[in-house]
Amino acid sequence: MSNTFSLARVYAILLKEFLQMRRDRITLAMIVGVPLMQLFLFGFAINYNPRALPTVISVDDPGVFARSVTVALENSSYFNIVKQTHSPQEARRLLQEGKVLFAVEIPENFTRDIVRGDPPDLLIEVDATDTAAGSYAVGALTGIASTALRDDLTGPLKARAQTAPPFNTITHLLYNPESVTQYSIVPGLLAVILTMTMVLMTCLALTRERERGTYENLLAMPATPVEIMLGKIAPNVVVGAIQSAIILLVAKFVFGVPMIGSLTLLSGALAIYITANLAVGYTFSTVAENQLQSMQMMVFFLLPTILLSGFAFPFDGMPGWAQWIGEVLPATHFLRIVRGILLKDNGFPEIWPDLWPLILFMFVVMGIALARFRRTLD
């Protein structure tokens, strides 16, 4: 072998690598798809100043000023009024269930107190389990209401429109009164870390067998596709349980995250979430031809999980199409479950709307994996 440097040999190896890339469709898809996915997600879906956030208004005053504030909030780009009620208890229930982010309470005698020059309290309660979601909207509330009342404060009342707002804005941050970022981020990390590690564990399950030359032995075993899948997934459920315990212990004793809900209920949701992610990885393993392709598929799944689940950016601030994609991801639903149990003390009725999509996702992905595995047997 010649020790002389040869550009011809370098060119030959370079040509060989390009030919291999061209034949690997998943690699080509990743070269083009990952940059485009990041550009579109960050350019269109990610919003640091979310608008149209779900809000309930509790109105106990039939006066003109209360109606003006209500109409102004309805017309504001920050708030999406999903319901009006006369019951503060119903508004609080909607907050507890996670159906709204804000509950605005216009008290009884709101109009009368403004006329008398006695500033009433305009109360806004915020679901602070996601600390990034409502900061801009809360700051805009006083300005929106003041602008609405400025047109109504005429005649003898006009002088009050020229000074400070004729009402007091009281903000209650529920479930996270001090707005501690770790209370929101650390439970979310439980979902993201489990997705990353669980999908990784099983996305190599069958491709590793192929590359080691033991796949034929697996097919020769008197085991059904269901038995093979369960045998590949079950050990990693234990791994996921250990990881979950470590994350929760660190969250409690290092970051001080409150855990006021049922850990038994959380454990059940964790088991479903872990199994769903393991099924995703196993499905990738039935599609990919080698371990590199499996890892590339995992990247395509992990990026939307981080960006569209509500972990990194407020879910309700994303455009509709991004929320549709996010609703398909298991991490989106598990984030709501884990934050609801740990910070809100949610029970089974409150988490069920997010639990059944997880169960459905798990069985659908398992069905796809079994269908793909049967085709590899033919």
Residues 6+ apart with CB under 8 A from 244: 190, 194, 270, 274
- Return the ∠ at Cα 367 (arms to 365 and 373), rounded to 5°: 105
Residue 261 domain flag: yes
At position 377, the amino acid (one-letter code) is: L
Residue 21 domain flag: no
- Residue labelled with tokens 């599609």: 287
Mean pLDDT across the chain: 86
Structure tokens at 376: 């590899």
Sheet holding 168-174, edge to edge: 79-85, 53-59, 102-106, 121-127, 168-174
Cα–Cα distance list, 192 to 314, 338, 363 (Å):
15, 12, 21
User: 368 and 226, same structural domain?
Assistant: yes
Domain boundary among 149, 174, 199: 174
Which of 101-110, 293-302, 316-325, 347-356: highest mean pLDDT? Answer: 347-356
**CATH (domain of 153):** 3.40.1710.10
Contact 126, 102 (CB under 8 A): yes
Domain boundary among 174, 200, 219: 174
Domain boundary among 174, 201, 231: 174
Q: Give the residues across from 103 on adjacent strands.
A: 56, 125
User: 198 and 303, same structural domain?
Assistant: yes
User: 135 and 75, same structural domain?
Assistant: yes
Assign 65 a pLDDT band (cuts: 50, 70, 90): confident
Domain that holds residue 81: 53-174
Give pLDDT, residue 377. 46
Structure tokens at 341: 């149990």
User: 186 and 150, same structural domain?
Assistant: no
User: 192 and 88, same structural domain?
Assistant: no
Residue 274 domain flag: yes
Give pLDDT, residue 23. 75
User: 190 and 121, same structural domain?
Assistant: no
Assign 24 a pLDDT band (cuts: 50, 70, 90): confident
Show the beta-strand stretches assigned E in the chain: 53-59, 79-85, 102-106, 121-127, 168-174
DSSP string for residues in 8-54: HHHHHHHHHHHHHHHH-HHHHHHHHHHHHHHHHIIIII--SS--SEE
Cα–Cα distance list, 347 to 18, 40, 119, 173 (Å):
55, 37, 39, 21
Computed on alpha carbons and rounded to an integer, the radius of gyration of the chain in Å comes to 27
Q: Is the per-residue pLDDT at 1 higher than 60?
A: no
Residue 3 domain flag: no
The model's pLDDT over 235-285, given as tens digits with 9 standing for 90+, comes to: 999 999 999 999 999 999 999 999 999 999 999 999 999 999 999 999 998
User: 242 and 185, same structural domain?
Assistant: yes
Q: How far apart are CA 97 and CA 238, in angstroms?
A: 31
Average pLDDT over residues 5-13: 82
pTM tops 0.75: yes
User: 199 and 86, same structural domain?
Assistant: no
Residue 214 domain flag: yes
User: 142 and 60, same structural domain?
Assistant: yes
Q: How far apart are CA 312 and CA 192, in angstroms?
A: 10
Share of the chain above pLDDT 70, in %: 95
Q: Is the per-residue pLDDT at 49 higher than 90?
A: no
The total number of structural domains in the chain stands at 2
**Higher local confidence (pLDDT), 344 or 149:** 344
Q: Is the per-residue pLDDT at 181 higher than 80?
A: yes
Residue 159 domain flag: yes
Phi–psi pair at 55, nearest 5 degrees: -140, 145
Give pLDDT, residue 237. 94
The model's pLDDT over 131-159, given as tens digits with 9 standing for 90+, comes to: 777 777 788 888 888 888 877 777 666 66
User: 269 and 208, same structural domain?
Assistant: yes
User: 358 and 237, same structural domain?
Assistant: yes
User: 245 and 125, same structural domain?
Assistant: no
Provide the 8-state DSSP code for 312. Answer: S
